[in-house]
Amino acid sequence: MFGKRAECQRMGASFNLAHESRMEAQFLIREIAAKSPQALFSVKGAVRYAHSKLAVFGWTFNRCKDVWQANERVSIADHEKETLRRVLKLAREEQEAKDDLARIDARLSRLESLLQGMDEEFHIETLAALRQSRNRLRGLGDNEKRED
């Protein structure tokens, strides 16, 4: 009798670990998808975005969907959670870079408007350089958009 109770306790502990693992994976995949503009419109779009980031690591769309839903039949390996963490970290770094570009672009726009207000003819070379820099920055932003 004692053996059966211990076995049931072990099974319960194993279930709790599997449940926690699924919940953590669900949280991570949803955080990855939250970085997508598609996530605002539909769950399917959000799962598609997460899949686009995870497909490189061998994740299928159905695997992403099952993890998104924390499906009980799914078990999550430690290396899969590590992959999710790495992809989330990259997504956050990518968003930070986009935010930095937007801030730099706004500062260049402000500087350009200030110089134009002072004496556009005197600052013509500086304004041309500023416009060229802004176009390069916008080109970087466009390249990032094409990758998504």
CA distance 54 to 60: 8
- pTM recorded for the entire structure: 0.68
What's the rounded Cα separation, in Å, for the pair 60 and 63?
5
Cα–Cα nearest to 29, from 70, 58, 57: 70
Q: Averaged over 12-24, what is the pLDDT?
A: 77
Percent of the chain with pLDDT over 90: 41
Q: What is the pLDDT of residues 31-83, one digit of tens each?
A: 999 878 877 788 999 999 999 999 999 999 999 999 999 999 989 999 999 99
CA atoms of 58 and 85, how far apart (whole Å): 15
Q: What's the pLDDT tens digit per position in 73-94?
A: 989 999 999 999 999 999 899 8
Instruction: Kindly state the tokens that stand for 87.
Output: 């992809």
- Alpha helices, DSSP H only, in 35-123? 43-54, 61-68, 78-119
When the pLDDT of each residue in the chain is averaged and rounded to a whole number, the result is 82
**Distance in angstroms (rounded) separating the CA atoms of residues 47 and 67:** 10
The larger pLDDT score, comparing residue 112 to residue 58, is at: 58
